[in-house]
C-alpha cells in the first residue's frame, strides 16, 4: 500500500511539475499565433472570389493582402480583374511559391510577394486590403489599418473581424463541402470602409439662399457619428441621420419644424457638399473648415 501510494504521489508530482511547462508551451503558441496570425490555412477559391466581389475590386485597384500565404487573393485579383498589388507573408517558401505562380500566370508585372512582417508592411498605396488572420492579430492590426490607410479604403476579411469596429457590411453563405475551411460548411466575409477623421469642431457655412454660419461639433467612434450644431444665437441642437462611409458624410438638424439635410465629402480639414433646405426651400452648397480636433 505504501509503495503504491509513493508511486501515485510521484506521478502527481511529475504531473504538477509538467504544468508550468505546459503553460509555457501554450503561452509560446499564443505569442507565435499573435505574431504570425496563426497556422497557414489556404483560402478556397470560392471564398477568394467572394472576397474580391464583396470588396468591389477592379482594374483600377491596388490590392494588399496581409498574410498572403500561397498568394491566391492577389493572383486572382491580377489575373481575373486586372488589378495590381502585393502580398506579404513571413514564410519564405510560400512567398517563393507565390512569386513563381505570378510568373506562371503571366501577372508578375502586376502581382508581387515579399517576406515581411505584416506590421511593417507599407500599406499606404492600397485601395483594398484583404486579410484572413486570427482574431488577436486582427485587433493588433486595427490601429495600423485605421492610421495608415486613406479614408474610403476597402478592407475585406474572411471569417474574423475587428472587434467593436463593426463592419459596414457582411455576408455569410453556405459553401460546398470540398471548399469548406476546417470542415465548416459556411463562410463569412466582412467589409469595412476606412472612415475619415471628423471628430472635433467645425465652422459650417451654408451658401445663399440660406446664407447661414453654424458651429458644428462632431463626436466619432469609427464610422458612427454623433454631435450638435449651434448658430444664430440659438442653443445647440442634436444632429440626426448622421452617417460616415469612408469620405462620404451626411447629417441633419431640425429647423422650423422640418430639418436641413447635409450630404458631402471629407477631405482632410475641410468638407463640402449640398444641403437640402428645410421646408422645401431648395438646396444650397455648404462647406466646413475644421476649427479644432
Task: Quote the CA–CA distance of 127 and 153 in Å, as a whole number.
Answer: 5
Q: What is the pLDDT of residue 2?
A: 32
On whether both 178 and 265 belong to a single domain, the answer is: no
Q: What average pLDDT does this structure show over 227-247?
A: 90
Residue 119 lies in a domain: yes
For residues 179 and 133, membership in a common domain is answered with yes
pLDDT at 235: 82
| pLDDT higher at 183 or 189 | 189
Q: Is residue 20 part of a domain?
A: no
Residue 11 lies in a domain: no
Q: Which of 171, 193, 215 marks a domain boundary?
A: 193
State the pLDDT at residue 25: 42
Q: Considering the chain, what is the average pLDDT of its residues?
A: 87
Which pLDDT score, from 0 to 100, does residue 163 have?
Answer: 96
Number of domains in the chain: 2
Indicate if 134 and 52 belong to the same structural domain: yes
| The pLDDT value given to residue 104 | 98
Q: What is the pLDDT of residues 8-19, one digit of tens each?
A: 333 333 333 444
36 domain residue, yes or no:
no
pLDDT value of residue 292: 81
Residues 174 and 147 in one domain: yes
CATH number at residue 183: 3.40.50.150
| In a domain? residue 93 | yes
138 shares its domain with 211: no
The contacts of residue 286 (CB under 8 Å, 6+ apart) are 204, 205, 206, 207, 262, 264, 272, 273, 274, 275
Last residue of one domain, picked from the residues 135, 163, 193: 193
Residues 51 and 184 in one domain: yes
Residue 233 banded pLDDT, cuts 50, 70, 90: low
Please check whether residues 69 and 183 belong to one and the same domain.
yes
State pLDDT tens for residues 194-204. Answer: 999 999 999 99
Residues 235, 218, single domain; the answer is yes
pLDDT above 90 covers a percentage of the chain that reads 73
**Whole-number pLDDT of residue 141:** 98
Q: Which residue has the higher pLDDT, 58 or 185?
A: 58
pLDDT, one tens digit per residue, over 123-166 is: 999 999 999 999 999 999 999 999 999 999 999 999 999 999 99
Instruction: Report pLDDT for 62.
Output: 98
What per-residue confidence (pLDDT) applies to 114?
Answer: 98
In a domain, 244, yes or no: yes
| Domain end (from 177, 193, 209) | 193
Which span out of 28-37, 58-67, 210-219 was modeled with the highest average pLDDT? 58-67
Same-domain status, 101 and 164: yes
Q: Which domain holds residue 154?
A: 45-193
Say whether both 115 and 244 belong to one domain: no
Q: Verify that 183 and 234 share a domain, yes or no.
A: no
pTM reported for the whole predicted model: 0.83
Question: Is the domain of 106 the same as that of 176?
Answer: yes
Examine residue 17 and state whether it is found in any structural domain, yes or no: no
Amino acid at each position: 500500500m505504501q509503495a503504491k501510494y509513493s508511486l501515485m504521489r510521484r506521478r502527481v508530482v511529475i504531473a504538477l511539475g509538467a504544468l508550468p511547462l505546459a503553460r509555457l508551451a501554450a503561452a509560446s503558441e499564443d505569442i507565435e499565433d499573435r505574431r504570425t496570425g496563426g497556422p497557414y490555412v489556404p483560402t478556397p477559391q470560392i471564398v477568394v472570389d467572394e472576397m474580391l466581389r464583396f470588396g468591389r475590386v477592379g482594374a483600377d485597384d491596388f490590392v494588399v493582402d496581409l498574410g498572403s500565404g500561397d498568394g491566391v487573393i492577389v493572383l486572382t485579383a491580377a489575373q481575373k480583374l486586372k488589378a495590381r498589388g502585393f502580398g506579404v507573408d513571413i514564410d519564405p517558401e510560400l512567398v517563393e511559391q507565390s512569386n513563381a505562380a505570378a510568373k506562371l500566370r503571366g501577372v508578375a508585372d502586376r502581382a508581387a510577394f515579399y517576406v515581411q512582417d505584416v506590421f511593417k508592411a507599407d500599406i499606404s498605396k492600397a485601395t483594398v486590403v484583404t486579410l484572413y488572420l486570427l482574431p488577436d492579430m486582427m485587433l493588433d492590426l486595427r490601429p495600423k489599418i485605421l492610421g495608415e490607410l486613406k479614408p474610403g479604403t476597402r478592407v475585406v476579411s474572411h471569417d474574423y473581424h475587428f472587434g467593436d469596429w463593426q463592419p459596414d457590411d457582411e455576408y455569410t453563405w453556405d459553401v460546398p463541402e470540398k471548399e469548406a475551411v476546417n470542415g465548416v460548411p459556411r463562410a463569412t466575409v466582412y467589409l469595412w470602409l476606412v472612415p475619415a477623421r471628423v471628430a472635433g469642431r467645425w465652422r459650417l457655412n451654408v451658401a445663399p439662399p440660406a446664407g447661414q454660419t453654424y458651429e458644428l461639433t462632431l463626436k466619432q467612434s469609427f464610422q458612427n457619428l454623433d454631435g450638435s450644431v449651434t448658430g444664430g444665437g440659438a442653443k445647440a441642437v442634436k444632429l440626426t441621420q448622421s452617417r460616415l462611409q469612408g469620405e462620404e458624410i451626411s447629417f441633419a438638424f431640425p429647423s422650423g419644424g422640418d430639418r436641413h439635410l447635409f450630404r458631402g465629402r471629407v477631405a482632410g480639414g475641410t468638407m463640402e457638399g449640398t444641403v437640402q433646405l428645410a421646408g422645401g426651400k431648395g438646396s444650397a452648397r455648404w462647406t466646413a473648415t475644421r476649427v479644432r480636433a
